[in-house]
Structure 1
Amino acid sequence: MRDYDEITAFLGEWGPFQKIIFFLLSLSIFPNGFCGMSIVFVGGIPEHRCFVPGNLNLSEAWMNRTIPLEQAKGKLQYSKCRRYRLDVIRNLSEIFPDPDSVNISEVEQEPCLDGWVYSKDQYMSTIVSEWDLVCDDDWKGPFVMSVFFMGVLVGSLCCGQLSDRFGRKIVLFGTMATQIGFSIVQLLSPNWEIFCLLNFFVGFGQISNYVTAFVLGSEFLRKKVRIIFGTVGICIFFAIGYMALPLIAYFARSWRILLFILSLSGLMYIPMWWFIPESPRWLLTKGRVQEAEAILQHAAKKNGVNPPMTLINELKLEVMENEKKQHFSVIDMFRNRSMQAIGVISLLVWMITSAGYFGLSLNTPNLHGDDYLNCFFSAVIEVPAYIAAWLFLQRFSRRFSLSGSFFMGGGVLFFIRLIPSNLPTLSTALVMIGKFCTTTAFSVLYVYTTELYPTTIRNLSVGVCSMFSRLGSIISPYIFYLGIHHEFLPYILIGSSTVLSAILILFLPETLNVPLPETINQMQKIKGVSCISTRNLIS
């Protein structure tokens, strides 16, 4: 019996219909780039120090000495979280008009009891300056992004089931509306707690939109175009959206204005409803043959070809075949010892890769130089990274391409601590190389995982791996939070874990020029691992 790809072969591989689908679904990912990374500027940390009330009647000389100096990142600067006791300073100022005649460093210090003063040189306002997410509350900034990734995790778990039940198209546009709608509502957040809650739903909508667009494109496009779509199409449009973020943020220095401008991108989704059809594959799984046929007839008309007269009969046979397919669960990913080894390595590598990618992306404000340029370069570097991933997939071994990318990406991060402080540009360059390699590896990892697992559990396996990657993204904001205590510790953690991934990948089987496995017993095995089945294999 012919499968769906054979039945629809008359449409060709790259006609006008496929080009429209490719472009529109890729374009639908554009807002994900700047909405997903907007916390870099929405949660930016302005220069700040303790507020000193003006009713103390201190002279300018004494006012300038109320904040202690401390060593931070190799230089002397005003403390951000402490001040000298103001009652003592006031008494001293009445006795000694000249503060240089007093050893102020011996005066007792106190926290910023009257709040903080924030510099407006870079930001007019951020959620940090509006709700004082600094000093003892500085953990709340990274937590905002962790909550976003918690929403991404839940969205990863739900979007597949939702799209399988209600359809790809309605979930695609519904989650687009969720992402943009909650971004708009965030503008009205009265406090940090409400902002976090809304950020959860923004994350939920974003990943569901991304995954559903990826699945819809994969079901419309044939094999060669499908690989380009998954590695270059939607990924580059994500990167373009990411590049637009610092450009918009440069002119919109208030976090509310920035979110409002980014949310306006949702208007571009509205006309897409009439140009992106439902997946015929999904319609067939629901027995809706007439609707699937109508979409294929429309596609044939767009491509200037004539559909076969037997089309509807073959579609009905495909429906019957779908009804015979067995259902599988997560347990089937770990049927035997070889699959258990492949599964554990895959889950661990996905989690490490996600933590590294988002850790490096969210760290751009901590790099030397201009924050806006650093963020822009971090986005630009993704374009050649996705192209490199596509070239690797076309020409080279999956295993060694992935392992090499991991090894180089992790290795360069170790050298950052060796760079002299008078060469900050070189440190930034090494971070960008690490970001390039991690992005390349992430893109290759998607395709490699789909080739490792058989058709019967392929979507399930990629979904579970993607879920574990969200655990990595949840902890990623706190990786660079550790930099408060040790400047180079985050790079050491990401570098060492990435190199570990490079080693683990070498234990997996090669999939280049190997036929995709259809059943579990056709799946390749790890050499040296005993493959005693824990239950009968389904052929």
Structure 2
Amino acid sequence: MTKEPVDLDAILVELGQFGRYQIRTYCFILLPIMFSAIYNSQYIFAAAEVNYRCQVPECEASPPQFATNGWGGWAFPDGGGRCERLRPVADSCQQASFHPTETKRCQAWIYQHNNSIVSEFGLACQEWKRTLVGTIHSAGLFLALPLTAYISDTFGRRVAFILTAVAPAVVGLARSFSQSYATYMTLEFFDATVGAGVYSSGFILALEMVGLNRRVIGGNIISCTFAVGQAVVALIAWAIPEWRTLTRVLYAPSFIFVLYYFLIEESVRWLLSKGKKKEAARIIFKVASFNNKKLSPETIKKLTDEDPKTEDSKSKVAEDDGKSPSVVMQVIRSKVMISRLCICSFWWITVTFIYYGLSINSVSLAGNSYVNYILTSLVEIPGYCASALTLNRFGRKSSIMTAFFICGISLVSLPFIPQHLQWLQTTLNLLGKLCISMAFSSIYIYTSELYPTTLRHSLVAVCSVCGRIGQVVAPQTPLLMAYMESLPYLIFGVMAAASGLLMLLTPETLDVRLPDTVQQAETLDTAPRTAHTTTDIIVD
């Protein structure tokens, strides 16, 4: 006879859904989460734009200075002398020594400072190489997500978390000694590949030990910590602008996360899924002692009884495996599900594109670039809070549509604000970031509620992978400013408005039971309403 499986959610009610043990574990996990935000955005400052001008041998002082002391007026064309200078006709620095209209391509440049890789690796007049850094970093995520997922599912959440928390220290410090652009870019890619998974692995490890009714607040705490980490990197970059020193200061502390092997336990839920009941029971009893809770005799009996290995579980797995292809085919053949998958993928591309695009372009706004980035990061926190407050009160569709439309209106309006109204420009930019952060947080929940249980995780993962396209493209948006300074914000606004309109084509899921089959998912519009439900979301 098969033993009744261990119900961890019921046990967590006895242990305390967010007790002292969970708080202690959260405090340990939140620090690497904050560092993941730092590593995810450090390139914005390491590859920051630098003012530069053409070197004019006929006029340069010794040593050369960025300021021209007046001679730039006749040595450079009206464009400013960044990539071209007026052709010299004599070997002197007099106004008559330069042709009034003919120009020549610059051969060397003088940089305002050496804090960025732009000056370090001579990237003047190659803006695409500077913006490519962010794209290469984002491209590393395509390897990071499946790699981290494999390690997490095979060797455990704790192993994946510690590896992805420590590995960036090695790659990041190596990158700080790069002597060429190619080496820097290669290590930037591997930095994201080995380290980007710390957020998802930490998110899962933290939430799998938190009770069902505390997972929403637990997820919001993690999201807010990530926002704080982005603000921290700007503060440190403000104090230490030189990119090599900055990189070493940011990455060196990660070696301390090796100690987490002795400080945090493996996920009980993962242990139970792997049949390691004895180890899971040890941790549960430890949590009970730490939280000053007593387990019921029935729970103790379930944890201490040895489960005989039966053929029932194997046959069930075989039966499930046999059904999986048919469910996939049902989705493929369903016009409703395919349409929904395309719409959700566009939402994800939009939120990642705008979210990261606003962060990257915030340093180009008028005013102090560090302050702009800090404000753009911290404004995410009220966005996450707004998501938690509105989804259950006003519904999924109206909340997310409102966020998309307000974001779109604020960003489309931004280019039409006069330059002397810097405070209004900053306000609209922050409002756009707040709303897209709210939409980003909400879209995790809403997307998962649109798909059947049998393929929910897989289909949400497809949307998440599609969303990375937006993250890869976002670092290239500064290039658009060369054609039209306001073009990135106009594109952001149009995409947000389009995503909001697409919400009209999907059903409201508030108070609707999660669909278990494709047929139930197709008929969500007519599904009966129930009491508020809490969706358990695991972030990819």
* Residues 418 and 53 of structure 1: CA distance in aligned 2, closer, same or farther (over 3 Å): same
The one-letter amino acid of 1:345's match is I
The answer to whether 1:240 aligns with 2:228 is yes
Range 257-266 or range 310-319, more displaced: 310-319
Q: Look up the match of 2:170.
A: 181
Structure 2 letter corresponding to 1:257: T
2:280 and 2:195 map into 1 onto residues whose CA distance is 28
The equivalent of 1:83 in structure 2 is 85
State the TM-score, normalizing by the size of structure 1. 0.87
Tell me, yes or no, if structure 1 residue 163 matches structure 2 residue 157: no
Taking the aligned partners of 1:366 and 1:318, their CA distance within structure 2 comes to: 62
Query: Residues 256 and 520 from structure 1, CA distance in 2 versus in 1: closer, same or farther, beyond 3 angstroms?
Result: same
The residue type paired with residue 409 of structure 1 is C
Residue 309, structure 1, aligned to residue 300, structure 2:
yes
Asked if 1 retains the 8 angstrom alpha-carbon contact of 2:172 and 2:191, the reply is yes
Comparing 485-494 with 452-461, greater Cα deviation is found at 452-461
Segment drifting more, 372-381 vs 446-455? 446-455
User: TM-score under structure 2 normalisation?
Assistant: 0.87
Note the alpha carbon deviations across 1:355-409, whole angstroms, 9 max, x for none.
Answer: 1110111012210111111111111211211111221234331111111101110
Deviation at 1:417, TM superposition (A): 2.1
1:507-526 to 2 correspondences below 5 Å: 507-525=505-523
> Structure 1 residues 446-455 or 177-186, which shifts more?
446-455
What CA deviation, in whole Å up to 9, does each residue of 1:504-534 have, x standing for no partner?
Answer: 1232222222223344444353659xxxxxx
Preserved contact between residue 209 and residue 267 of structure 2 (Cα < 8 Å) = yes
Classify 1:126/1:428 alpha carbon distance in 2 versus 1 (closer, same or farther; 3 Å).
same
Is 1:358 matched up with 2:363?
no
Kept after mapping to 1: 8 A contact 2:166/2:255? no
1:57 deviation in Å?
9.5
Alignment partners' CA distance in 2, 1:450 and 1:331: 16
Which of the numbers 342, 345, 348 marks the counterpart of 1:344?
Answer: 342
- Measure how far apart 1:468 and its partner are: 1.0
| 1:211, distance to aligned residue in structure 2 (A) | 0.9
Unmatched tracts of structure 1, length 5 or more: 71-77, 529-539
User: Which residue does 1:109 correspond to in 2?
Assistant: 103
Q: How does 1:183-262 map to 2 (within 5 A)?
A: 183-230=172-219, 232-262=220-250
The structural deviation recorded for 1:149 is 0.5
What is the aligned partner in structure 1 of residue 257 from structure 2? Answer: 269
8 Å contact from structure 1 (residues 358, 476) kept in 2: yes
Aligned-pair CA distance for 1:434: 0.7
**Gap change, CA 1:495 and 1:62, over 3 Å in 2:** closer
Alpha-carbon shift at residue 55 of structure 1 (Å) = 7.8
CA distance in 2, matches of 1:288, 1:171: 18
TM-aligned CA deviation for residue 251 of structure 1: 1.3
Q: How far apart, in 1, do the equivalents of 2:218 and 2:199 lie? A: 13
**Matches of 2:353 and 2:234, distance apart in 1:** 22
Secondary structure at 1:106's aligned position in 2? strand
Cα displacement (A) at 1:491:
0.9
Q: Pick closer, same or farther for the CA change 1:193–1:299 going to 2, 3 Å.
A: same
How far did residue 271 of structure 1 move?
A: 3.4
Q: Is the 2:9–2:212 Cα contact (8 Å) retained in structure 1?
A: no
Deviations 1:462-500 (A, max 9, x none): 222211111110011112311111111111111101111
Provide the alpha-carbon RMSD of the alignment: 2.7
Whichever residue aligns with residue 191 of structure 2, its letter is V
Q: Which moved more, 1:191-200 or 1:389-398?
A: 389-398
Q: Which amino acid aligns with 2:242?
A: S
Q: 1:12 is matched with which residue: 12, 16, 30?
A: 16
Within 5 Å, give how 1:487-498 maps onto structure 2: 487-498=485-496
SS of corresponding position for 1:473: helix
Deviations 1:301-339 (A, max 9, x none): 112223333222678499988753435579465452222
Preserved contact between residue 68 and residue 105 of structure 1 (Cα < 8 Å): no
How has the CA–CA distance of structure 1 residues 354 and 314 changed in structure 2, closer, same or farther, with 3 Å as cutoff?
Answer: farther
CA offsets 1:402-429 (integer angstroms, 9 cap, x no match): 1110111011111112212322332222
Counterpart for residue 143 of structure 2: 154
Is the CA contact 1:338–1:525 (under 8 Å) kept in the aligned structure 2? no
Q: Distance in 2 between matches of 1:297 and 1:57?
A: 74
Matched, 1:291 2:291: no
| Secondary structure, counterpart of 1:512 in structure 2 | coil
Q: Is the 8 A contact 2:383 2:434 kept in 1?
A: yes
On the 8 A contact 2:512/2:524 being kept in 1, the answer is no
Is 1:65 the equivalent of 2:74?
A: yes
Deviations 1:88-141 (A, max 9, x none): 1537x6xxx5x2xx596734111111x211113xxx421111112231x21011
State whether residues 66 and 89 of structure 1, in contact with CA within 8 Å, keep that contact through their aligned partners in structure 2. Answer: no
CA–CA separation in structure 2 for the residues paired with 1:51 and 1:478: 27
Cα–Cα, structure 1 residues 503 and 61, in superposed 2: closer, same or farther, change >3 Å? closer
Deviation at 1:269, TM superposition (A): 2.1
CA distance in 2, matches of 1:31, 1:304: 32
- Whole-Å separation in 1 of the counterparts to 2:176 and 2:437: 31
* Structure-2 residue corresponding to 1:118: 111
Distance 2:119 2:313 in 1: 56
In structure 1, C-alpha distance between the alignment counterparts of 2:303 and 2:310, rounded to whole Å? 11
Instruction: Provide the secondary structure at the position in 1 that maps to 2:53.
Output: strand
1:37 aligns with 2:55: no
Q: For residue 28 of structure 1, give the secondary structure of its aligned residue in structure 2.
A: helix
- Contact 2:44-2:134 at 8 Å conserved across structures: no
Task: Flag the 1:157–1:487 CA change in 2: closer, same or farther, 3 A.
Answer: same
AA at the equivalent of 2:224:
I
Residue 234 to residue 265, structure 1, CA distance change in 2 (3 Å) = farther
Task: Give the 3 Å change call, closer, same or farther, for CA 224–335 of structure 1 in structure 2.
Answer: farther
Give yes or no for contact 1:4–1:281 (8 Å, CA) kept in 2.
yes
Contact 1:285-1:322 at 8 Å conserved across structures: no
**AA at the equivalent of 1:41:** F
Over 3 Å counting, the alpha-carbon distance change for 1:184 and 1:449 in structure 2 is: same
Q: Give me the whole-angstrom Cα distance separating, in 2, the residues matched to 1:268 and 1:38.
A: 20
**CA 260–463 in structure 1, closer or farther in 2 if over 3 Å, else same:** same
Higher mean C-alpha displacement, 54-63 vs 338-347: 54-63
- Deviation of residue 262 (structure 1)? 0.7
Q: Deviations over 1:230-271 (max 9, x none)?
A: 2x2111111111111121111112001111111133145233
Give the structure 2 partner of residue 50 of structure 1. Answer: 54
Corresponding letter in the other structure for 1:443: S
